[in-house]
Structure 1
Amino acid sequence: MSQVPLHIATDFPAPSVDDWRRLVDKDLKGKPFTSLQSSLEGGLSLRPLYTPEDAASTPPPEPPGVAPYVRGTHPLGLTEGGWLVCQEYSEPDVALASEAIRVDLERGALGVWLCLGESRGIRVADPASLERLLAHVPLDRTPVFLEPEAKPLSFAHLLLGAAQKARVPREKLRGCLGLDPLGALARTNALAATPGVEWDAEAVSLVQSLRQEAPGLRALLVSTRPYADAGATSVHELAWAIATGVEYLRTLERAGVPPEDAARSLQFALSVGGQFFPEIARLRAARLLWSKVVAASGGSPDAQAMALHARTASATKTQRDPWVNILRATAESFAAVVGGANSVSTSPFDEALGTPDAGARRLARNTQLILRDESSLNRVADPAGGSYYLEQLTGEFARAAWAELRRIEALGGMARALATGEVERVLAETRAARDKAVRTRRLPIVGVSEFPHLGETPVRREARPSVPGNPSPRPTRVAETFEALRDASDRYLLSHGVRPRAFMANLGTVAEHTTRSTWIVNALAVGGIEAQEHHGFADAAAAAELFASSGAALAVISGPDALYPDQVPALCAALKARGARVVAVAGRPGDHEAAFRAAGVELFIYAGADLVALLSSLHQQLGVA
């Protein structure tokens, strides 16, 4: 064996980007290099490779704890104790919400975020009910954040009164009182008659007094929940958060509150979606943009630090195969932590099914504890720092959001954009674009539009007492259109004893048809249609005989394209003769579409098609819907 040392760093030449690009172009075989790029919402895209040259155009970010706070608002990042595990609560019943808070605080949570209101939130009506809600919350060491649907000043005074009754000095209070008029008006769409935001004297006085008496308790909230739940892209959500903050700074300054105090009174809350690395970059960009805004307003470097709460997105969660939500929430929480959020809330996996139960809350709480105590995510300050990819993406998010912020400002500000319907117009466009991506499965949903499980067992949930009141406004979840198809299949199963069935008429050998037929079986299952596989047959008559005994009304011809011209017309005629109500063909028909349709083929199922439309059509023809 040779004893000559191998010096990898010097014995092998370092490849250049041009060397890599030549190899890639060769492998692409004529396809454009842009085919390797991935599109993101908001007009951004991801390249396949990032290099030091990408970072050379911009100066390196300041260290953590230094404005503009791209790398975090604390010098040591989250290493001194981790982020604040701050779970959110919207259980309408005060007693049940109080018990959930008690359990969470005893078992690892460090803060509480209270969603208050009649239609979506905890029903707190008076000082006594708030005291019951906070019975197990030591206010002198537990941050409490309020997010009320309406009447924020009333809830703010209730919390301050509860602290006074518990003899907790105001200087020990931490959290946020939740004054967010634009957020409240966005939820209720009530800005048409109130196109501006004005703080009354009581609100201004509260902001000023808290800066002196309770510096750890912020009065104002900028929550993007109404926009994230309505289908905003990541760029729009970020831009509108900053635009709302600008509106509050400007309005308070007119009321006599200097930007320095107003900025220190603001708490931001953003939703974190399923795009892991882009979400990390977006949170870093949020701190950068807010620092720039406060600096331009005259605020000091300390006032430029954003107080940022990150919640896992409701829109990404599913009712079908909800166990996958555990993975979604874990990835979203991971992104929130790596992105440097000061506090994080992980949603229970069953939130899309209704009020979460104790088991789901335990899993949500433990997700953050495992990320902190077992994965040690708090041991590194700004783990995303220095990545060419993430640093470049952070800048791109910041520039895209800043362009949208300037557009909103040109319209007259965020309040004006809401009042004129501009925000709703953009949301309608983004929802339509996202829905198209979902329907064509360019935006796949595991367990729903990809790898559905028709035999899944419904989640067992605790029996809960019903609470009368208005129905809660629901977030726009990306999975809803496909879940509606599965719901229709379930109703069919209850009334007929079987699910709608499809007979797979597979052509050629197993090796020839299995890839396409497997894809078709999964595509049909997305709509709750149960496929019966048949791996070859002697001729069209034999296939039709098998179909007649299957009990199915739908037949799907699947196989290699080369066999289609000769076999599809005869096979379709045979299947129709033996009672097939619908005959579909797997794959694009190409030049043979007219001939196949003339033979009786109704549908073509292929990748990239609007699968919701195809499955809805099948439901109609099979009597499912």
Structure 2
Amino acid sequence: MADVPLTAADFPPPSVEEWRRLVDKDLKGKPFTVLQSPLEGGLSLQPLYTPQDAPAPSEPPGVAPYVRGTQPLGHTEGGWLLCQEYAGPDVAATADALRDDLERGTQGVWLLLDAPHGLDVKDEATLARLLQHVPLERTPVHLEPTADVLRPASLLLEVLAKKAGAAKQALRGSLGIDPIAALARHGAAKVDVARTLTEAAPLITSLLKDAPGLRALLVSSRPWADAGATSVHELAWSIATGVEYLRELERAGVSPGEAARSMQFALSVGGQFFPEIAKLRAARLLWSKVVAASGGAPESQAMALHARTASATKTRRDPWVNILRGTAESFAAVVAGADSVSTAPFDEPLGTPDEQSRRLARNTQLILRDESSLNRVADPAGGSYYLEQLTGEFARAAWTELQRIEALGGISRAIAQGDMARVLTETRTARDKAVRTRKLPIVGVSEFPHLHEAPVQREARPAAPARAEGAITPPQPVRVAEAFESLRDASDRYHAAHGVRPRAFMANLGTVAEHTARSTWISNVLAVGGIEPHEHHGFADANAAAELFAKAGTTLAVISGPDALYPEAVPAYVAALKAKGARTVAVAGRPGDHEAAFRAAGVDLFLYAGADLFQLLKTLHTHLGVA
């Protein structure tokens, strides 16, 4: 029989219904929802996306509503702008860093101003010294003040006028006038949003005519994102801020189209790769819809979007992992079509970054552009059923939240009423629970900790000033790793005081093959709390284990082994270990039906996946005398 070549027609594609029937069969009675992955903000990821979920996009890149980017050819003509952020107390050192980085690939400058961690720019001369090595005629400069949002804008304009000459049309950047971000940080007693925008209105009109590349207004999500907002809330609150700016400026005589062309958005990109891509695409969609509804022409609907890698996802422990986090977050920002991207140095949580960490951050984007060629495809996310559907879901969820904020009277009133504080508290509580139970794992901190890592030393930043009495409680920056890092900090203090770390005697039952999987897991868990595990593989009997325990120099013992050995071994081992001075005996694994018997025998606690490991480890610290 002659060979007959097979073609695609010989394998007709199965329908979604056929796939679903096979999946339901394999689930053996479990609900289909077990295959869905929940996201913060009420969204969830499906196990399969099809053309029925999200048809191919009808608009090309560069066309309203700009889901696919604001440029027809995307980043293919020169790439995105590599725009690094700078902060710190030393203006001279930052000026030198600007010079070095611009010579080595940085293209734009983003300056964080004011206390506690920003640059202290009091006058024109200070700003001129800061920018002395920056070729202002070809380098976009962006300001992000946290206190007085008008004065830095005037200072930058004065410096630009003197250094860049009369070529105003070529100037690029943003002046950072963002009174709602300042309101969130400082309260109504110090910030009058309407008055600030009224005072800024003549400047906005002037810049649109003389220097259209300089955007006067900024909408920064930093106060929300750093305080732990979900992606949906960050997106919705940013759009709500833009809405209020359009509304107030129209009252001051600036049309919505003009105000929109004067606005720069800056959003954070967190650790969930595909959802963060969808979030940035949804931001452009929503802003286009808002400006269109306000009467703005299509060209006014294009969002100028800056993306920064998130601060909340970074860790002080094993900070080198931050390089991987920053790479993934930068990758997501580029794929989503951000106009400019800032990659934070890996040591940012530790203090002022050094030259090496700035170089690694800068080169992350250079590699993505020049070696991974991410600038060679316009809208690489376009047409993905998954991302198109997720973009729509983010947009709908954020629009619902935007309507809720508008019903409260707008974002300024929502802040004044404490609504943002309430939502952030709820979000942080839920996220903290996921972190404590390791449903949200943190590599290097709550998973695979490096107990004996060499610390990375950096110059500490100044402490935040005390809040003024009567002010709105501002959203406090928080990193997801802080709870577990506090346990490691306590372990370090114990080590400094005693010369050794708090330790646990590992009483492993059965053969090495029988207990290795569980004992390895327990050793990892103990190291998360800065407790050094001392493993012993098998014993002749409970008395032999107790004799070794007496020489271990600790009061904590952990019994670990196969479940089948526990009913007989646990009571005997607990009695023997406590007779030799064990104050605390823990058992690895869920006790199940044996919990009452084990507790009666003297077991103090159980360590198992899904438990609140932070609280369990904190309890062990207390038993071991770790402050």
TM over 0.5: yes
Q: Which moved more, 1:370-379 or 1:497-506?
A: 497-506
Q: How many residues align?
A: 619
Q: Which secondary structure does the structure 2 equivalent of 1:199 belong to?
A: helix
- Give the % identical residues: 74
Distance 1:585 1:117, change over 3 A: same
How many angstroms does 1:194 deviate by?
A: 6.2
Paired amino acid for 1:173: L
Paired amino acid for 2:178: D
How many angstroms does 1:26 deviate by?
A: 3.0
The aligned residue for residue 46 of structure 1 is 45
1:527 equivalent in alignment to 2:529: yes
1:609 aligned residue (589, 608, 611): 611
Q: Which secondary structure does the structure 2 equivalent of 1:53 belong to?
A: coil
Distance 1:6 1:501, change over 3 A: farther
The aligned residue for residue 298 of structure 1 is 295
The aligned residue for residue 548 of structure 1 is 550
The aligned residue for residue 157 of structure 2 is 160
The C-alpha deviation readout for 1:302-357, integer Å capped at 9, x for no partner, is 00000000000000000000000000000000000001100000000000000111
Equivalent-residue separation in structure 1 for 2:375 and 2:138 (angstroms) = 21
How many angstroms does 1:5 deviate by?
A: 5.2
Q: Which secondary structure does the structure 2 equivalent of 1:425 belong to?
A: helix
Paired amino acid for 2:82: V
1:285 aligned residue (274, 282, 286): 282
Equivalent-residue separation in structure 2 for 1:468 and 1:574 (angstroms) = 50
1:481 aligned residue (483, 488, 501): 483
1:596 aligned residue (589, 595, 598): 598
| Structure 1 alignment gaps of length 5 or more | none
Distance 1:180 1:146, change over 3 A: same
Paired amino acid for 2:478: T
The aligned residue for residue 232 of structure 1 is 229
Give TM-score scaled by structure 1 length: 0.96
Equivalent-residue separation in structure 1 for 2:404 and 2:225 (angstroms) = 19
The aligned residue for residue 584 of structure 2 is 582
The aligned residue for residue 472 of structure 2 is none
Paired amino acid for 1:23: L
Distance 1:264 1:487, change over 3 A: same
1:404 equivalent in alignment to 2:401: yes
The C-alpha deviation readout for 1:183-229, integer Å capped at 9, x for no partner, is 011122x1378675333653111011111111110000000000011
The aligned residue for residue 311 of structure 2 is 314
Paired amino acid for 2:210: E
Paired amino acid for 1:231: G
The equivalences for 1:148-187 within 5 A come to 148-166=145-163, 167-187=165-185
Equivalent-residue separation in structure 1 for 2:457 and 2:402 (angstroms) = 45
The aligned residue for residue 144 of structure 1 is 141
1:272 equivalent in alignment to 2:269: yes
How many angstroms does 1:506 deviate by?
A: 1.4
The equivalences for 1:549-564 within 5 A come to 549-564=551-566
Equivalent-residue separation in structure 1 for 2:615 and 2:464 (angstroms) = 36
Q: Which moved more, 1:595-604 or 1:199-208?
A: 199-208
Q: Over aligned residues, Cα RMSD in angstroms? A: 1.8
1:116 aligned residue (83, 93, 113): 113
Q: Which secondary structure does the structure 2 equivalent of 1:261 belong to?
A: helix
Q: Which moved more, 1:532-541 or 1:392-401?
A: 532-541
Equivalent-residue separation in structure 2 for 1:502 and 1:6 (angstroms) = 65
Q: Which secondary structure does the structure 1 equivalent of 2:54 belong to?
A: helix
1:75 aligned residue (72, 95, 101): 72
Paired amino acid for 1:53: Q
Equivalent-residue separation in structure 2 for 1:460 and 1:192 (angstroms) = 39
Distance 1:500 1:466, change over 3 A: closer
Give TM-score scaled by structure 2 length: 0.96
Paired amino acid for 1:397: F
Equivalent-residue separation in structure 2 for 1:467 and 1:486 (angstroms) = 22
How many angstroms does 1:28 deviate by?
A: 2.2
Q: Which secondary structure does the structure 1 equivalent of 2:265 belong to?
A: strand
Equivalent-residue separation in structure 1 for 2:83 and 2:100 (angstroms) = 13
Equivalent-residue separation in structure 2 for 1:466 and 1:459 (angstroms) = 15
Contact 2:217 2:263 in 1 (8 A): yes
Contact 1:194 1:419 in 2 (8 A): no
Q: Which secondary structure does the structure 2 equivalent of 1:534 belong to?
A: strand
Contact 2:179 2:191 in 1 (8 A): no
Contact 1:506 1:559 in 2 (8 A): yes
Equivalent-residue separation in structure 2 for 1:46 and 1:388 (angstroms) = 12
Contact 1:37 1:48 in 2 (8 A): yes
How many angstroms does 1:467 deviate by?
A: 7.5
Equivalent-residue separation in structure 2 for 1:616 and 1:506 (angstroms) = 23
Q: Which moved more, 1:444-453 or 1:150-159?
A: 150-159
Distance 1:467 1:280, change over 3 A: closer
Distance 1:53 1:333, change over 3 A: same
Contact 2:80 2:340 in 1 (8 A): yes
How many angstroms does 1:111 deviate by?
A: 0.4
